[in-house]
Amino acid sequence: MFKRITTLAITIGMMGGLLAVSASAQATDEKSSDSKMSHQQKMDKMHAMSADDKAAMFDHMSEKDKMSAAKMAGHDMSKMSHEDAMDMMSKMSTGDKAAIFDKMPSDKKMAMIQSMDKMKHDSAQKK
């Protein structure tokens, strides 16, 4: 009898655990489905960005990403001192920053757009 009760208790515990995990996964899917965009929507959004938006995205990049993006665009600053390179980047026009942003790989651009959208979405929820 004790063995049967133990087996029943373990079975009930496992079923409860599975139920909790599946309910949690469904709640996560519902939250993230609002912010999911298709690949084509992301590409359209990326192409519809203005030069000011692209420059703003460039300004939000890490220094390492800025340097590699500038190198891809033909502005190799690896031989400059770090201070000189950062000074040169800060003096770039909006058009130059947008052009460098355009030369970045599209997967990196899409990841940046997603992270910016997520930050906007999170800040809107806090209000």
Q: What confidence tens digit (pLDDT) does each residue in 60-106 have?
A: 888 888 888 888 888 777 788 888 888 888 888 888 888 888 888 87
pTM: 0.54
CB atoms within 10 A of CB 80: 13
Contacts of 32 (CB under 8 A, 6+ apart): none
pLDDT of residue 28: 54
Per-residue CA distances from 15 to 5, 11, 25 (Å)? 15, 6, 15
Q: How confident is the model at residue 34 (pLDDT cuts 50, 70, 90)?
A: very low
- The domain spans of the chain are 1-34, 36-126
3-class state of residue 79 by DSSP: coil
